[in-house]
A and B are shown apart, each in its own frame.
Chain A
Amino acid sequence: MSLVRVQISGDSMWPTFPNGSQFELIDCTFDELNLGDVVLAQHPFHSDVQMVKRIQSFSNRTVFLVGDNPDPLASEDSHNFGAINEEAILGRCEPIQA
């Protein structure tokens, strides 16, 4: 099985993960996810966009995703597009130590 790495473009995960940070993508089931996990997810409104966000909460097989940036305008996340379905979660992101 080949490794998959994810590199982020943007500042929505700053200061934890600045622009250009890389992660290893871990294949996992929905039930293996935990609060606070960083995940790769499919954007609900743009089929060509995948995004890296953090799980803030679970509700009825949906997840509420947020960025780490404290600026309320710095992250397009579930505050804008709402909670997303479990099928939109593509895997957990483990940071790669520089």
Chain B
Amino acid sequence: MEDTPFTLIEASAHCDGPCGVYDPASARVAGEAVQSMTKKMLALEYPQVFSSESMASYLNTMSRYAAIKEEEAQKCKKELLVLWTDFFKPMHLEAHPELHDTFWQAAKLCSACKVEVSAQHAQELMDAIESIHNMFWSIKGREVPWIRAS
């Protein structure tokens, strides 16, 4: 039987939609913005001259940092959830049994970074995104280095 000549047909067994159009980079950029805003909030010094004008400027700057941190943390969580629920499939758990816990912790860190001004949690979020980056590209069979924009 093995020696019998045969014609080989390539057939599709693919998923729905544009499978393959995913990249953890979008979560990484949002995560970096969260970390950057967190650092800026912690570094912002109270005005030395107390006046209506200086307080307005201080509060405006702090408010803008907080607003961006909030928005980017939410964006980061959304990007992570899309990766988790749409890209990763049950068979990927075989090679990465830590997959679900990593995403769960990363999503919780997004929430923590929203409600806190925590440099520690911002760094832990970036660490979790790096783990997801490594799992993602391992599954894609490509070596893509972890590079930060900031």
Contacts and interface: CB of A to CB of B under 8 A. Distances in A.
A9 B9 contact: no
Contacts of A56: none
Contacts of B13: 8-13, 17, 19, 51-53, 67, 75
A98 B102 CA distance: 35
A45 to B, nearest CB: 12
A75 B9 contact: no
Interface of A is mostly: loop
Interface residues of A, number: 35
B7 A5 contact: yes
B147 to A, nearest CB: 29
Contacts of B85: 73
A24 B73 CA distance: 51
Interface string A1-18: 011111111111111011
Interface of B: 4-17, 85-86, 89-91
17 contacts: A3-B6, A4-B8, A4-B9, A7-B9, A7-B11, A9-B11, A11-B91, A12-B13, A12-B14, A13-B13, A15-B90, A50-B12, A51-B13, A53-B13, A73-B86, A73-B89, A80-B16
